[in-house]
Amino acid sequence: MTDGATHTLDVVAVGNALVDVLSHDEDVLVTKLGLQRGAMTMVDFDTAERVYAAQGPTIEVSGGSAANTTAGLASFGATAGFIGKVGADEFGRVFTHDLASLGVTFGGTARDGAGPTGRCHVIVTPDAERTMSTFLGVAGDLQPGDVDESLVTRAQVTYLEGYLFDQPAAKEAFRRAAAVAHAAGRRVGLTLSDPFCVHRHREEFLNLVERSTEVLFANEHEICALYEVDDFDAALQHVRHHTEIAALTRGKRGSVIVSGDEVHVIDAVPVERLVDTTGAGDQYAAGFLYGLTHGRDLATCGRLGSLAAAEVISHLGPRPESSLASLAAALFD
Where along the sequence are the contacts to its own copies (CB under 8 A)? 21, 23-24, 52-53, 55-62, 71, 89-91, 94, 97-98, 100-102, 116-117, 317, 319, 321
Q: Residue type for 64, please? A: G
Question: Among candidates 274, 271, 214, which has minimal Cα distance to 245?
Answer: 214
DSSP alpha helix (H) spans, 64-217: 65-76, 90-101, 149-154, 168-183, 195-200, 202-212
Minimum CB distance to its own copies, residue 46 (Å): 15
Give the number of C-alpha atoms closer than 13 A to the C-alpha of residue 15, restricted to the C-beta side: 31
Nearer residue to its own copies within complex by CB, 195 or 279: 279
Nearer residue to its own copies within complex by CB, 154 or 319: 319
Minimum CB distance to its own copies, residue 98 (Å): 5
Nearer residue to its own copies within complex by CB, 85 or 187: 85
CA angle, 57 then 63 then 67, to 5°: 175
Minimum CB distance to its own copies, residue 59 (Å): 5
Minimum CB distance to its own copies, residue 323 (Å): 11
Nearer residue to its own copies within complex by CB, 195 or 317: 317
b/e per residue 113-140 (b: at least 16 CB within 10 A): eebbbbbbbbbbbeebbbbbbbbbbbbb
Q: Under a CB-based contact definition with an 8 Å cutoff, are residues 137 and 117 in contact?
A: yes
Dihedral of CA 253/162/224/206: which sign?
A: negative
Minimum CB distance to its own copies, residue 301 (Å): 25
Minimum CB distance to its own copies, residue 93 (Å): 8
Nearer residue to its own copies within complex by CB, 222 or 276: 276
Nearer residue to its own copies within complex by CB, 70 or 191: 70
Backbone angles phi, psi at 294, to 5 degrees: -120, 25
